[in-house]
Amino acid sequence: DAKTTQPPSMDCAEGRAANLPCNHSTISGNEYVYWYRQIHSQGPQYIIHGLKNNETNEMASLIITEDRKSSTLILPHATLRDTAVYYCIVRSFNDYKLSFGAGTTVTVRA
């Protein structure tokens, strides 16, 4: 029962911004949007999360639409090391596990 929809893959040019979309049209008021990534077969790595406000950290920015039904993860200057599978996950504040979908495979090209 996927709560999010992401494109299966996308390419990005090195040095350019990568904009990764995610649809979560059934999100409820107590659910956060989390983004993780998995480089090759390494453990998933936390990127950012948000509830309704846009968020920014040293890795990325998260833009959440006003109706909260979709969001975009922005990698401002993609590098080759950003090639990974990116997961958009909806999690309620009292559900402490994460449920991973298929994610978006992002390939950054030189």
Partner 1 sequence: EPEVTQTPSHQVTQMGQEVILRCVPISNHLYFYWYRQILGQKVEFLVSFYNNEISEKSEIFDDQFSVERPDGSNFTLKIRSTKLEDSAMYFCASKSGSDTGELFFGEGSRLTVL
Which stretch, 5-13, 15-23, 44-52, 57-65, contacts partner 1 (CB under 8 A)?
44-52
Residue 107 lies near partner 1 (rule: CB under 8 A): no
Query: What spatial distance separates the first Cα and last Cα of the chain, rounded to whole Å?
Result: 37
Residues found in the chain: 110
Distances (CA, A) of 60 to 17, 37, 47: 10, 12, 7
Q: Which residues ranging from 59 to 98 are in contact with partner 1 (CB under 8 A)? A: 87, 93-94, 96-98
Cα–Cα distance measured from residue 53 to residue 60, given in angstroms and rounded to the nearest whole number: 14
Residue 54 lies near partner 1 (rule: CB under 8 A): no
Residue 44 lies near partner 1 (rule: CB under 8 A): yes
The number of residues that bind partner 1 (CB under 8 A) is 20
Residue 52 lies near partner 1 (rule: CB under 8 A): no
For residue 83, report the phi and psi dihedrals to the nearest 5 degrees: -60, 120
Residue from 34, 68, 75, 86 binding partner 1 (CB under 8 A)? 34
CB 15, min distance to partner 1, A: 26
Among left, alpha and beta (phi > 0; psi -120 to 50; other), residue 40 is: left
Binding site for partner 1 (CB under 8 A): 32, 34, 38, 41-46, 49, 87, 93-94, 96-102
